[in-house]
Structure 1
Amino acid sequence: MRFPKPWSKKRGSRQAGRAIAGTVGEAGFFAAVFLAGVFILALTLAQRFVVGPWPPLATGLGFWTLIALAIAMIGFGGTMLLLGILQIGASSERRNALARRAEEIELIGGTGTEFPAVPRGVNLTDSPGMRLTYRLPATSWPGKRLAAAAALALMWNAVWLVLLVVVIAGFWSQQPRWVLTGLLFPLAGIGVWVLRHYARCLRQTSGVGATIVEIDEHPLQPGGSYRAYVGQLGRMTLRRIRIELICEEESTFRQGTDVRIDRNPVLSQIILDQYDVTIDLGRPWEQEFELKIPADAMHSFRSPHNAVHWKIIVSGEARPWPSFCQSFPVVVQPASPLPRRSPR
């Protein structure tokens, strides 16, 4: 009989523990470290500079030790929390792919002046893929809502802790601030609600996971056929997941003093439409398919007032997680002209 060894490396594809609960717990720990540092810093400064019946705190080794400890806690908690938010929506294999396959990809030069109005798309091929040659970047970051909720929660509760120190200092100096003391209770309720909203956003964003799109060649050409790969990470049940190839015309014009942008789809090709998909942490949803560009399609184009964009859109309707829609731009260059034949 073999007994489990928690210190040993796990084998197979099963998951040890709950990753979502671990992510929420880790974020809560770093947020608590940040707020504790704010409270210690405010309390130390109050003991040093607020006039009261107690003797002021001497600016000796103990004072500077508390200041350094508080600043270190604020910096450590804030930095680790920020790094955790930045990693939301990114797969853990990406850094391994960068280290393993960076030497296999040739440097991509510019297109020259042959097609001056066609985007070069150099930034679309600077990341290697795990399955295919290139991993396409998404146009939007899925952690924007989470970052806003985290900033609001930390700033609101940090201000509340500073006000708490002011109230405590008032009672110590026998000059209580009753109005501020009464305001602490509703402000604390708002702070608890903001923290719960942040935890809910963190849980939802962590559950959805990253969307990965890879392609074997880039840029594309009309009439070409290419291999593509889509992977969806997370732990959720999708009512539907759809992969589309979109060609969109964009017009920029001025109406009075306002600048308006009008977007009209020129081509919408549904590549995959699948229902009732279950995604687990150890087994992401993966799909390889053939991406075909119509031979008579318009190539990518960009000018000051008009543009033609091509993109791969991956959208999903999830429950109980929020639905998602990620856009991955690609560049379609004009078809290469046929070489001239010699009359001989």
Structure 2
Amino acid sequence: MSIFLVEVVQGFRHGHPNWFLTVFLIPFVLVGLIVAGAVVYFLLALANPKTTVTLLTPSPRLGSTLRIAWRTTGRVERLRALTITFEGQEKATYRRGTDVHTDTSTFRTLKLAELHVPTEMRSGEAEVEIPEDTMHTFRGQSNQILWHLTVKGDIPRWPDVDDEWEIEVLPLPVEGS
């Protein structure tokens, strides 16, 4: 590929451009630039602060309190904001002709923490009540109810922090047990 690119550049330098080769190479050069940009983006994201979340409630269930603790390492002062949420999502998989589609819908978002001060972002604890009127974790053949703990951090002019962990939420206890 680089041989052809050199040929195009030399053609323009000598005043005899090969327009067919130039137009032919444009998509390949664009794809190469996009891939190089993606590599740089993901390398920058490796330098982001890392957040570790610990569940203080060993087996969360509907109607109970979910308690967590977090610790963020790295350059926390670069974060403009850090948000920790607990989200319930429904996933439905279905066929449309010969294609298989999966739709995802968030049915509940519970905010555990929204922080803007670096010292508070470094470590802390939070809790939230899991409502009884929602659905526990469920995995069927075509439908799923999943709960995720998400950590999102906003970093100006840099790839943001966006981590997610799946948490199993148990159903309400059966009466009399």
* TM-score, scaled relative to structure 1: 0.39
Structure 1 CA distance for aligned equivalents of residues 66 and 110 of structure 2: 15
Q: State which structure, 1 or 2, has the greater radius of gyration over its C-alpha atoms.
A: 1
The AA in structure 1 aligned to 2:73 is L
1:292 corresponds to which of 129, 139, 145: 129
1:205 Cα offset (Å): 2.6
The AA in structure 2 aligned to 1:298 is M
The structure that is helix-richer by fraction is: 1
Q: Given that residues 85 and 111 in structure 2 are in contact (C-alpha distance below 8 angstroms), is that contact kept between their aligned partners in structure 1?
A: yes
Do the aligned partners of residues 298 and 240 (structure 1) sit closer, same or farther apart at CA in structure 2, a change above 3 Å counting?
same
1:208 corresponds to which of 36, 40, 48: 48
> 1:21 aligns to what?
none
Structure 2 CA distance for aligned equivalents of residues 278 and 334 of structure 1: 37
The AA in structure 2 aligned to 1:225 is T
The structure that is strand-richer by fraction is: 2
Q: Given that residues 244 and 272 in structure 1 are in contact (C-alpha distance below 8 angstroms), is that contact kept between their aligned partners in structure 2?
A: yes
1:228 Cα offset (Å): 0.5
> 1:223 aligns to what?
63
Q: Given that residues 213 and 229 in structure 1 are in contact (C-alpha distance below 8 angstroms), is that contact kept between their aligned partners in structure 2?
A: yes
Q: Given that residues 206 and 234 in structure 1 are in contact (C-alpha distance below 8 angstroms), is that contact kept between their aligned partners in structure 2?
A: no
Structure 2 CA distance for aligned equivalents of residues 197 and 254 of structure 1: 33
> How do 1:255-266 and structure 2 match up within 5 A?
255-266=96-107
1:245 Cα offset (Å): 1.1
Residue 332 of structure 1 aligns to a residue whose secondary structure is: coil
Structure 2 CA distance for aligned equivalents of residues 258 and 252 of structure 1: 11
Q: Given that residues 111 and 128 in structure 2 are in contact (C-alpha distance below 8 angstroms), is that contact kept between their aligned partners in structure 1?
A: no
Q: Given that residues 218 and 331 in structure 1 are in contact (C-alpha distance below 8 angstroms), is that contact kept between their aligned partners in structure 2?
A: no
1:284 Cα offset (Å): 6.8
2:110 corresponds to which of 262, 269, 292: 269
> 1:306 aligns to what?
143
1:244 corresponds to which of 59, 79, 85: 85
Q: Given that residues 70 and 123 in structure 2 are in contact (C-alpha distance below 8 angstroms), is that contact kept between their aligned partners in structure 1?
A: yes
Structure 2 CA distance for aligned equivalents of residues 263 and 196 of structure 1: 29
The AA in structure 2 aligned to 1:309 is L
Q: Given that residues 234 and 284 in structure 1 are in contact (C-alpha distance below 8 angstroms), is that contact kept between their aligned partners in structure 2?
A: no
> Does residue 1:233 correspond to 2:73, yes or no?
yes
> Does residue 1:316 correspond to 2:156, yes or no?
no
Structure 2 CA distance for aligned equivalents of residues 260 and 195 of structure 1: 31
1:217 Cα offset (Å): 3.2
Q: How many residue pairs were aligned?
A: 152
Unaligned runs of 5+ in 1: 1-159, 161-178
Q: Which digits, 9 at most, give the CA deviation of each residue in 1:72-115, with x for residues without a partner?
A: xxxxxxxxxxxxxxxxxxxxxxxxxxxxxxxxxxxxxxxxxxxx
> 2:13 aligns to what?
none
The AA in structure 2 aligned to 1:231 is R
Q: Given that residues 243 and 314 in structure 1 are in contact (C-alpha distance below 8 angstroms), is that contact kept between their aligned partners in structure 2?
A: yes
Higher RCO (CA < 8 A, seq sep 6+): 2
Structure 1 CA distance for aligned equivalents of residues 100 and 56 of structure 2: 38
The AA in structure 1 aligned to 2:89 is E
Unaligned runs of 5+ in 2: 11-28
> How do 1:1-344 and structure 2 match up within 5 A?
201-202=42-43, 204-235=44-75, 236-275=77-116, 277-278=117-118, 285-339=122-176
1:267 Cα offset (Å): 0.8
Q: Given that residues 232 and 286 in structure 1 are in contact (C-alpha distance below 8 angstroms), is that contact kept between their aligned partners in structure 2?
A: yes
